[in-house]
Amino acid sequence: MEKLLAELKAKIIEILNLPDVSPADVREDDQLVGGPLGIDSIDVLEMVIMIEKDYGVVINNRELGAQVFATLRTLADHIQKNAPEPVR
């Protein structure tokens, strides 16, 4: 789980091009969307594509998305539970 969290932090900073944000600034239990990082609905969609591409986990509706992207930890949990191959 810790490895996955660290990996997600790095990926989010990279794909969302978050300026002046280091992995330490992304806190596991902070509100992810609309929180301190300034992540919005477009960023969520970009993350959806990344999660499908890199972990094989499809998040294709809004209601599910709202739960999954609540925090970084809920996202990591969802990936771990649903990935076709084990993710640590």
Partner 1 sequence: MTDTPVFISSIGMVSALGVGRDQSAASLWQEDRRFAPLTLFPAGPDGPLPVAEFRDLPAVADPPRTHQLARLAADQAMAACSTPPDAIVLGCTTGGMPATETTQEEGIDDSAAYRHHGVGTVADDLARRYRCTGPVVTLSTACASGATAIAVAAAMIRSGRARRVLAGGVDALCRLTYFGFKSLQVIDPDGARPLDRDRRGMTLGEGAAMLLLADRPRTETDLQLLGAGLSCDAYHPSTPHPEGAGALAAMQAALVDAGLSPGQIDYINLHGTGTPDNDRAEAMAVNICFNGSPPPLSSTKGVTGHTLGAAGALEAGIAALAIQSGRVPSNVGIRNVDPALALSPVTSATPLPVRRVLSNSFGFGGNNAALVIGKAAKKRPTARKTADMPLIVTGYACLSGGGRTTDTLAALSAHESCRGCLADQTVCRDLDPRSIRRLKRLSKMTLAMAVELKRKAAEADLPGVVSLGTGWGALSETADFITRLMESAYQHPSPMAFIGSVHNAPAGQVALLLGARGANLTASGGDYSFEQALLSADLVAGNPSEPILVLGADEAHAALTPLFAPSEVSSEGLADGGGALLLRRAPVAAGTCVALAVYRSHRQVDAIGETVADLGGAENLNFRFGAILAGLPAAHRTMARDQLNRFLKISGFDGPVIDFRRLTGEFATATAIAAVAGVHWVATDTVGAPGVGQNPQPLNGKGVLVLGLGPTITATTICPP
Please give the residue ranges that form the binding site for partner 1 (CB under 8 A): 16-20, 38, 40-43, 45-46, 48-49, 52-53, 60-62, 65
Which C-beta is closer to partner 1: that of 1 or that of 34?
Answer: 34
Distance of CA 65 to the CA centre of its chain: 10
Which C-beta is closer to partner 1: that of 29 or that of 52?
Answer: 52
State the nearest-atom distance from the C-beta of 68 to partner 1, in Å.
13
Q: Which pair of tokens denotes residue 52?
A: 């499908």
Q: Which residue has the tokens 């969307």?
A: 33
Whole-number Cα distances in Å, 37 to 27, 29, 42, 43, 64 = 10, 13, 13, 11, 21
State the nearest-atom distance from the C-beta of 61 to partner 1, in Å.
7
